[in-house]
Amino acid sequence: QVQLMESGGGLVQAGASLRLSCAASGEARCISAMGWYRATPGKERELVAAITGGTVVNYADSVKGRFTISRDNAKNTLDLQMNSLKSEDTAVYYCYALSEYCYGADYWGKGTQVTVSS
């Protein structure tokens, strides 16, 4: 089993930066891929950024050049550095993990709120 806990959300001004962190516990070494998703009320979660095998990364077009995803395998954490934040980035951000190396199961954090004031 894997447990995920997000942190780092908050209220910031447009143009500011924020760094989100996801801490994985349990059988964290089973994780093969991790990512950040976000959702607003009434909408499904959308992929923000993901990293597979600690090497392959991809970003949503709306955040390219502004957000950076990184994974620290030693600390079992996943970070999302968000720069030049816009009001459109306001959402609940969720951490995701796939434990393909062990069970093929996936896990979700409970989310952290990011609010960007214009």
C-alpha–C-alpha distance, residues 118 and 101, integer Å = 43
DSSP codes joined into one string, 52-77? ETTTEEEE-TTTTTTEEEEEETTTTE
CA-only gyration radius of the chain, Å: 14
Distance of CA 52 to the CA centre of its chain: 13
Where the chain has pLDDT below 70, the residues are none
In this prediction, residue 35 carries a pLDDT of: 97
In this prediction, residue 77 carries a pLDDT of: 94
In this prediction, residue 55 carries a pLDDT of: 81
